Amino acid sequence: MMRWRHPQLAPGDSSGYGLGVFASAPIRKGEVLHVLGGAKVSVGDLVARTLRGEERCDDPLQIGRRTYLVLDDASRLFNHACAPPAGLRKASELFALRDIRAGEQITYDYAMTVAPTDWSMPCQCGSRHCRKIIGDVTTVIPAQRREYERAGAVQRYMRAVQRELDAGTYRIPRYEVLAMAKINAMPGNNR
Ligand SMILES: [Zn+2]
Query: What tens digit of pLDDT does each residue of 73-120 get?
Result: 999 999 999 999 999 999 999 999 999 999 999 999 999 999 999 889
- The 10s digit of each residue's pLDDT in 23-35 is 999 999 999 999 9
Residue 80 Cα, ligand 1 centroid: separation in angstroms?
8
DSSP state of 40: E
pTM: 0.94
Helix or strand holding residue 169 (H, E): none
Cα of 109 from ligand 1 centre, angstroms: 9
| C-alpha 84 – ligand 1 centre gap (Å) | 9
CA of 83 to the centre of ligand 1 (A): 7
Q: What is the Cα–Cα distance from 141 to 2, expressed in whole angstroms?
A: 34
Give 163's contacts (C-beta < 8 A, 6+ positions apart). none
Beta carbons within 8 Å of 25's beta carbon, 6+ residues apart:
8, 102
CATH superfamily assigned to domain 9-184: SET domain (2.170.270.10)
**Domain chopping of the chain, boundaries:** 9-184
